[in-house]
Amino acid sequence: MIPAYCATKRGPRTSSRAALGVAPPGGVPGSYGFDAIACVKVLDGGSDRRFLIWRVLRYDPKLLSESLAELGWMPIEGIDHGPDNKKTRCLILLQKQ
- Give me the mean pLDDT over the 3-26 stretch: 67
DSSP 22-58: EPPP-SSTT-EEEEEEEEEEETTTPPEEEEEEEEEEE
Nearest Cα neighbor of 12 from 40, 42, 50, 32 is 42
Whole-structure pTM value = 0.59
- Whether 94 has a pLDDT exceeding 80, the answer reads yes
pLDDT tens column, 31-85: 889 999 888 877 766 678 888 889 888 888 888 888 999 999 999 998 888 888 7
- Whether 8 has a pLDDT exceeding 80, the answer reads no
The domain tally of the chain equals 2
| Whether residue 8 sits in one domain with residue 27 | yes
User: How far, rounded to the nearest angstrom, does the alpha carbon of residue 1 sit from its chain's CA centroid?
Assistant: 20
| Whether residue 87 sits in one domain with residue 51 | no
Q: What is the pLDDT of residue 42?
A: 74
Q: Can you give the residue range of the structural domain that contains 35?
A: 1-58
| Whether residue 69 sits in one domain with residue 26 | no
